[in-house]
Chain A
């Protein structure tokens, strides 16, 4: 069975400090990996993806993520957090050629403290 884990329900970071939101996955096959952000009462917004190639991918709003195949991880990072980054973040996986489903983590609430 495919699964995605976000081990931290809540992450707090001071404004200006680097942030990391963790994601690990367990899938059969080579996954496509995604990060989404959700602000209150809004739909999920696509941030970035890893499909193939360079393990470090860059996305919207200065976010980046590193695909680590050996550790089956895809952690989201940003060098300097902003208060406006405070939101709910979801990691997701799609396994090509096994259907059209996406598997989501349970979400990590990020709070950036001024």
Chain B
């Protein structure tokens, strides 16, 4: 069966510090991968998605970036965090075909102080 991992679970970082969040998927190959941010426990904002190694689509211009160095690894980064980057970050994967649904990781709670 497939599993998706995210780490760290929680992170407190000062403004201006760098960020690296990692997501890995097991048990499938060539997944579509996604990064979302959820603010105040409500709506999901799609940040990036990837259909293959090195292929990244950015949905919202901001000081975040994403990379996919391996088929089942998706990394969210920032060079300098802003207060507004605080939130709950969720990684997800889906199949190109079946399974058509997304499966989400446990999330990372980021607090920028």
- Which residues of A come within 8 Å of B, CB atoms? 32, 34, 36, 40-46, 49, 51, 88, 90, 92, 94, 96, 100-102, 104-107
Contact = CB atoms under 8 A, between A and B. Distances in A.
Contact of A43 (B49, B90, B101): B90
B57 to A, nearest CB: 9
B44 A43 contact: no
Residue with the highest number of chain B CB atoms closer than 10 Å, among A36, A102, A107:
A102
Contacts of A92: 102
A104 B49 contact: no
A25 to B, nearest CB: 15
Contacts, number: 55
Interface string B92-111: 10101000111111110100
B61 interface: no
Contacts of A46: 101-103
Nearest to B10: A41
B42 A49 contact: no
A49 B100 CA distance: 9
B100 A51 contact: yes
Nearest to A100: B32
Interface of B: 6, 32, 34, 41-44, 46, 49, 51, 88, 90, 92, 94, 96, 100-107, 109
B43 A100 contact: no
A45 B104 contact: yes
Contacts of A44: 44, 90, 92, 102, 104
A34 B92 CA distance: 14
B41 A106 contact: no
B51 A100 contact: yes
A107 B100 contact: no
Residue with the highest number of chain B CB atoms closer than 10 Å, among A43, A51, A96, A107:
A43
B89 to A, nearest CB: 10
A32 B42 CA distance: 22
